[in-house]
Amino acid sequence: MLLPLVGCADMMGQIQPQQATGPAAPQSEAAAAEAAASPVLSRTPPPAARTEEDFDTTTAEERADAAAAPAASGERSLGTTVVSLGDPARPGFWIETPLVDAPGKGRVVFPGSGKSAQVDLIPISDGGSRLSLAAMRLIEAPLTDLPTVEVYAGG
């Protein structure tokens, strides 16, 4: 049964959108786990960010932790992948890659510099791998190229 909507058009101009006052929409389990594992995700670049320095909101302590040597055992190679720069406004040390099928912790190594960064491993199924700005800077990978990195899980 259809109800007539006569006069509704006149009322539409009087309706004001309400601001959300209740709890935020629930996150997916993967997003919630990632946020819990990465406290740096709560910091975002300032609206006027223009340079890589502006966009990289990690602290010196976070960079030192990410650069720390991996545990002596428990790490396994997932292979190599070509990476592009991920969303520069998304903080933290992470790689989105089809080399994993579940979120976890790992490490990336850039053979060009020999440097590595501990990262959150985030599975994706579309396209190539994307590496965070903070991780690319830490391993000294060129931001405008498509470098190949080695990816490890665990450690």
Torsion sign, CA atoms 154, 122, 144, 61: negative
| Helices and strands, number each (H, E), in the chain | 5, 6
Report the C-alpha gap between 21 and 149 in whole angstroms. 44
pLDDT band at 74 (very low <50, low <70, confident <90, very high): confident
Report the C-alpha gap between 140 and 134 in whole angstroms. 10
pLDDT 10s digits, 86-107:
999 999 999 999 999 999 999 9
- Locate all alpha helices (DSSP H) within the chain, ordered by sequence: 8-12, 29-37, 52-55, 60-67, 133-138
Q: What is the pTM of this model?
A: 0.66
Domains in the chain: boundaries: 32-154
Report which of residues 130 and 29 the model is more confident about: 130
Taking the CA atoms of residue 70, residue 73, residue 79 and residue 81 in that order, the dihedral angle to the nearest 10 degrees is -10
| Mean pLDDT, rounded, for 11-29 | 39
Task: Supply the pLDDT for residue 99.
Answer: 96
Most confident of 7-11, 27-31, 124-128: 124-128
Task: Supply the pLDDT for residue 37.
Answer: 45
Nearest to 100, CA basis, from 73, 114, 74, 119: 119
| Mean pLDDT, rounded, for 48-69 | 80
CB-based burial label for 49 (10 Å; 0-12, 13-18, 19+): middle
At the second CATH level, the architecture of 32-154 is: Beta Barrel (2.40)
- Locate all alpha helices (DSSP H) within 45-90, ordered by sequence: 52-55, 60-67
16-20, 48-52, 61-65, 72-76: which has the minimum mean pLDDT?
16-20
Query: 58: which DSSP letter?
Result: -
